[in-house]
Structure 1
């Protein structure tokens, strides 16, 4: 489960859909060096994103393709 304290890089590595969700929320800096240490909460705050809405999407079960 991804929490507000999960580093962005960890979320990207453990949840393949995370990159798409971050992009939908305008978090285009997910490839920058800061994402290795930056948490979901700090990234959301920096981009004026509702962290709870972001976490809901990140933790939704992956849809079958």
Structure 2
């Protein structure tokens, strides 16, 4: 199972599984199609947008953990 970290690039996580898009959006990252998402880390994006990176990472990792069930 993949472990998502704050250093990972948003677009890389989306390439792993497009179904993660609603998770990003639920946490306030609505700019998934913008050029920055292809080079911006989850941690940097969360900081810029004033988001709780730990809550986002938990939801992303929970998704990947439960995906196989």
TM bucket, shorter chain: 0.7 to 0.9
| Structure 1 counterpart SS, 2:50 | coil
TM-score by length of 1: 0.87
User: Which structure 1 segments of 5+ residues have no match?
Assistant: none
Structure number having the greater helix percentage: 2
TM-score between both structures, scaled by the size of structure 2: 0.83
Q: Which residue of 2 aligns with 1:7?
A: 9
| SS of equivalent residue, structure 1 residue 31 | coil
Structure 2: unaligned runs, 5 residues or longer: none
> Hey, what does 1:51 align to over in structure 2?
53
